[in-house]
Amino acid sequence: MTIQPYSTALVTGASSGIGAATVRRLRELGLEVHAVARDKERLTKLAEETGCIVQAASVADLDAMGAIFKNHEIDILINNAGQSRTGNITNTTEEDIDGLVDINLRAVLQLTRLALPGMIARDRGHIVNITSIAGHYAFAGGNTVYHATKAGVHSLSQQLRCDLFGKNIRVTEVSPARVQTEVFGRLIGDMEEAQRRFFDEYDSLLPEDLANSIAFAISAPQRMNVSFMEVLPTMQVVGGLNFAKKTAKS
């Protein structure tokens, strides 16, 4: 059984974490799912498990992405692919800035641009943007460029609803806090250390929690648009206020 009126979905960043969990969940719902990521080996294993369609390419490869939308009717676009870095704007590099903007923001804009003509012509569609609490809150230790790109996708999600006013195309932003994925291990270059530092003593979200959140949004009646979901671990809060003490010189 499919989720009326949808029958197909495209999930980016599908080889692991939230993306892979979302592929599994959407396949359970009966959707044809195109799984996009660079790691063909992982995608092939996921396809063997779920029956998803492998699209091994970077989201930054516009020729490859354009071919998908040219050859397939995609009802649901899940913009999940993303990258992060350590440090902040005071010690980042030109390459770090370009890499984060290319994957976290530019690719989301380009895929949305590619997806919308078909959705508009068919008068059905759903775009789901996975952002982060980093797009809404400032906190010490966060990567400045990452925060900025996620804030950009938040703004895009809001503006899209204005652009699509009067059409049967829904836009959902899902903004999670800490999720137990490989991203932390990649950041510090040590998966075991990341597990110890970030997860062993914390009850974090699991990728399946976000996949279920996405499933809820796309399964909602067509009259209902779940526009924004902020998903936090029960034991995690956001925000905070710091005040630096005067220095001797001041």
Catalytic center residues? 146
User: Tokens 């989201």 correspond to what residue?
Assistant: 59
- Give me the long-range contacts of 67-74 (CB less than 8 A, separation at least 24): 68/10, 68/34, 68/36, 69/114, 69/115, 69/118, 72/8, 72/10, 72/34, 73/7, 73/8, 73/118, 73/122, 74/8, 74/9, 74/10, 74/34, 74/115, 74/118, 74/119, 74/125
Q: Hey, what are 27's tokens? A: 């396949």
- In the DSSP assignment, the letter for residue 128 is E
Rounded Cα distance, 249 and 199, in Å: 41
Strand runs (DSSP E) across the chain, as ranges?
8-12, 32-37, 53-56, 76-79, 125-130, 169-176, 228-231
